[in-house]
């Protein structure tokens, strides 16, 4: 729509995690260095956390692009699953046949696969995105996978990538053994004000605008104010501002356009920033926490999410039973039950999408938990941990 008007080859603020547009802020550079160190030194467990929209997936895509071909990677992002189903997903990612195999057979097959790769002098890594959605039982299953080792080396490296809720989960007492295995940890923070300016200019340059500064200084500060420095929110604001500017044939974007976009789209409550510049972040958090309507809405969302997760667990059990029973049916029965299985799987996928959407809406919960989430995963002054 506005590309030719502003001199872009393509939209600079698209929400897809394209590594070509990746801006290496100081925090992203540190996170990438931790990933690189972990893969080079063959560290067993790695945890990277960050707020929704902080650029974790884009960072992962860049990391995967630069990995050597002698490292076999499984990448899993659908994480609202039961332990056995997760194990099957891991095996399928490595092209291992899972039909008709129970849990013990799956583990044995996967162990033999790891030994085979080790004998070929190849490395194996499992990357789990959206790890905050993993159930405690599935996290324990992942810990057990890490027990598959040779006498001297890890047979598999495991990377858990997720939102800040992940580090809350890992602090649970019954997951202490998993936490003890985390050798590399980093929390990805938001961009600073200067980094937001560099981020905006970088994306416009990649999109073909050259050195032209379309957003003036006040507009950039407004974007930082309302986005809180989260790249995804910066993208949403900037894209909407360019549409608005194009409609009014503005050659540059000022602060008034940013504030008009926020007002017209009624998104003040979604973005971390507030128009009242004199209020501290602590006061804003306290004000939202004291809003009965907000608390009621969050409680409702939590109840919906928990209910859907329970239903999803029952669906997964039904799918496992149907899958294991298909081998004993006649041809006509197989056709019927295969259709039932496909419909059930479709319902499961739909429900997973609905849960993901509810979790996105529940981003407001992070505001209230902000002070709690500032605590590091381990009791250190630094936000990283390397053993």
In a structure prediction context, what are the per-residue pLDDT tens digits for the chain, which is 387 residues long?
788 888 899 999 998 888 889 899 999 999 999 888 888 888 878 999 998 889 898 888 888 888 878 889 999 988 888 899 999 999 999 999 998 889 889 999 999 999 999 999 888 999 999 999 999 999 999 988 888 776 567 889 999 999 999 988 898 888 888 888 888 899 998 999 999 999 999 999 999 887 678 999 999 999 999 999 999 999 999 999 999 999 988 989 999 999 988 887 655 555 555 443 334 333 443 444 444 455 555 555 555 555 555 565 655 665 566 566 655 555 555 555 555 555 555 555 555 555 555 555 555 455 444 444 445 555 544 445 543
Residues 36 and 107 in one domain: yes
Who contacts 224 (Cβ-Cβ below 8 Å, separation ≥6)? 191, 193, 196, 197, 234, 273
How many C-beta atoms surround the C-beta of residue 34 within 10 A? 21
Residues 178 and 235 in one domain: no
Residue 253 sits in which domain range?
194-264
| 86-162-147 Cα angle (round to 5) | 45
pLDDT of residue 57: 86
Q: For residues 66 and 70, what is the distance between their CA atoms, to the nearest angstrom?
A: 12
Residues 31 and 158 in one domain: yes
Q: Are 93 and 74 in contact (CB under 8 A)?
A: yes
Helix pair 83-93, 292-325: axis angle to 10 deg: 70
Residues 82 and 163 in one domain: yes
pLDDT of residue 363: 52
Strand partners, 160: 47, 128
Torsion of CA 177, 180, 186, 189, to 10 degrees: 60
Number of domains in the chain: 3
pLDDT of residue 288: 40
CATH number, residue 56: 3.40.50.300
Residues 113 and 138 in one domain: yes
| CB burial of residue 174 (10 Å; 0-12, 13-18, 19+) | exposed
CATH number, residue 244: 1.10.8.60
pLDDT of residue 285: 39
**Residue that is written with structure tokens 């976009």 in the block:** 261
pLDDT of residue 166: 92
| CB burial of residue 376 (10 Å; 0-12, 13-18, 19+) | middle
Q: For residues 109 and 136, what is the distance between their CA atoms, to the nearest angstrom?
A: 24
Helix or strand or coil: residue 48? Answer: strand
pLDDT of residue 195: 95
pLDDT of residue 215: 94
How many C-beta atoms surround the C-beta of residue 147 within 10 A? 11
Q: For residues 202 and 224, what is the distance between their CA atoms, to the nearest angstrom?
A: 15
Residues 107 and 76 in one domain: yes
How far lies 334's CA from each of 210, 300, 329, 331, 342, in Å?
60, 41, 6, 5, 12
| 141-142-143 Cα angle (round to 5) | 90
Torsion of CA 146, 378, 136, 340, to 10 degrees: -80
Residues 182 and 247 in one domain: no
Among 134, 142, 168, 120, CA closest to 46: 142
């Amino acid at each position: 729509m506005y590309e030719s008007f502003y001199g872009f080859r393509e939209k600079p603020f698209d929400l897809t995690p394209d590594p070509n547009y990746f801006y290496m802020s100081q925090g992203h550079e540190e996170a990438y260095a931790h990933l690189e160190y972990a893969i080079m030194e063959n560290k067993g467990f790695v945890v990277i956390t960050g707020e929704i929209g902080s650029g974790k997936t884009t960072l992962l895509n860049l990391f995967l692009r630069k990995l050597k071909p002698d490292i076999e990677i499984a990448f899993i992002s659908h994480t609202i699953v039961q332990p056995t189903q997760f194990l099957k997903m891991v095996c399928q990612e490595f092209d291992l046949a899972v039909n008709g195999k129970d849990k013990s057979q799956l583990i044995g097959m996967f162990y033999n696969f790891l030994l085979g790769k080790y004998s070929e002098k190849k490395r194996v890594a499992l990357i789990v995105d959206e790890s905050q959605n993993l159930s405690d039982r599935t996290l324990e299953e992942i810990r057990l996978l890490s027990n598959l080792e040779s006498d001297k080396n890890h047979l598999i490296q495991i990377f858990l990538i997720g939102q800040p809720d992940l580090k809350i989960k890992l602090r649970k007492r019954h997951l202490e053994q998993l936490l003890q295995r985390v050798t590399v940890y980093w929390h990805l923070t938001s961009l600073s004000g200067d980094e937001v300016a560099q981020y905006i200019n970088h994306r416009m340059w990649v999109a073909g605008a050259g050195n032209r500064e379309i957003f003036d200084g006040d507009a950039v500060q407004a974007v930082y104010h309302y986005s809180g420095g989260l790249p995804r929110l910066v993208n949403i604001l900037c894209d909407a501002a360019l549409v608005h500017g194009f409609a009014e044939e503005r050659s540059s974007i000022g602060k008034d356009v940013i504030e008009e976009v926020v007002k017209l789209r009624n998104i003040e409550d979604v973005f971390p920033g507030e128009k009242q510049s004199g209020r501290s972040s602590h006061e804003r958090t306290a004000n939202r926490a004291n809003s009965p309507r907000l608390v009621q809405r969050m409680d409702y969302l939590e109840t919906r999410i928990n209910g859907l997760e329970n239903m999803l667990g029952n669906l997964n059990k039904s799918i496992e039973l149907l899958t294991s029973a298909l081998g004993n049916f006649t041809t006509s029965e197989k056709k019927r039950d295969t259709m039932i299985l496909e419909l059930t799987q479709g319902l499961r996928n739909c429900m997973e999408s609905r849960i993901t959407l509810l979790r996105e809406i529940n981003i407001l919960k992070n505001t209230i938990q902000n002070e709690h989430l500032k605590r590091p995963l381990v009791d250190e002054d630094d936000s990283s941990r390397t053993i």
